[in-house]
Amino acid sequence: MQKIILSALVATSLLVAANAEETPIISHAEIGYVSTTGNTETQTFTFDANIKKDWDKHALKLKADASYGEDSDVTTRNKYSIEGNYDYKFTQTIAFNYLVAYKRDKFTDYNYQAYTGPGIKVQAVKNEQHLLDLTGSVLYSVDEFRANDDTDDYASYKIEAVYDFKIMENLKFHQDFGYRASFEDSDKYFINSKSAITTKISDILSAGLSYKIDYINDVAPDTEKSDKTLAFNLIFDY
């Protein structure tokens, strides 16, 4: 399953490069200093990046999110995720979506989580101030557990909402919320949320504050369900 996920992400990257001359690639990168609570309490660094490309009725987006921290030369935080999305627009507001994702976190019950599958994206709101995208996906998921390296593959679904609000010309609010759950086991669900506010400094440089929540419902009794991350970010758009 890992090879399938990584191969799909590589193929997505090559497809973006193959169409590079038709439309520009939009890149967004955030580098942050973090204070965390939850499974770990430490100071660390984070990296968050998005690459997006549109052409004709097609759109590709790659997203990477990582954080790493040490305390007295001991690793206290080590997690990353990679996600690829492909959209094909049926109309201006409705698109077919295909999602592929891979996630690792040293301080959870899972060695890795991977999932992939199709969905429908709806652009519910789009005007000068507000943008709201809603996506629903049906997924094939695989989890590998840290305790015994056993794997669990299952059918799941994901609901995601992405909201952007231009408060002022140089001040923006962003909210990203995702809920993923197993069709078979109601206790097996995951929530990811990112709230951020950014202010423009120059054409390519911004400063921002973000708050992330990574919630796993089905965990061992001695493990926190929720990892929270507060980050002060330097942001590059180019």
For 76-97, write each residue's pLDDT tens digit: 788 899 999 999 999 999 999 9
Token duo for residue 87: 């959209």
CATH of the domain at 177: 2.40.160.40
Q: What global pTM score does this model have? A: 0.84
Q: Decide: 51 and 26 in contact? Cβ < 8 Å.
A: yes
- How many domains does the structure of the chain reveal? 1
Q: Decide: 84 and 65 in contact? Cβ < 8 Å.
A: no
- pLDDT above 90 (res 155): yes
Q: What is the helix (H) or strand (E) element at residue 142, kind and residue range?
A: strand 130-145
> Closest Cα to residue 195, out of 175, 180, 214, 179?
175
For 35-81, write each residue's pLDDT tens digit: 666 766 667 788 999 999 999 899 999 999 998 887 777 787 888 99
Q: 74: left (phi > 0), else alpha (psi -120 to 50), else beta?
A: beta
Domain that includes residue 51, residue range: 2-237
> Closest Cα to residue 118, out of 147, 88, 97?
97
Q: Decide: 183 and 171 in contact? Cβ < 8 Å.
A: no
**Strand residues in 41-109 grouped as ranges (E):** 43-55, 58-71, 74-89, 94-105
Cα distance between residue 30 and residue 10, in whole Å: 22
pLDDT for residue 42: 66
82 vs 10, higher pLDDT? 82
pLDDT for residue 118: 98
Q: Tell me phi and psi for residue 10, to 5 degrees.
A: -65, -45
Q: What residues have CB less than 8 Å from 189, skipping those under 6 apart? A: 179, 180, 181, 182, 217, 218
Of 13-22, 53-62, 156-165, 225-234, the range with the lowest mean pLDDT is 13-22
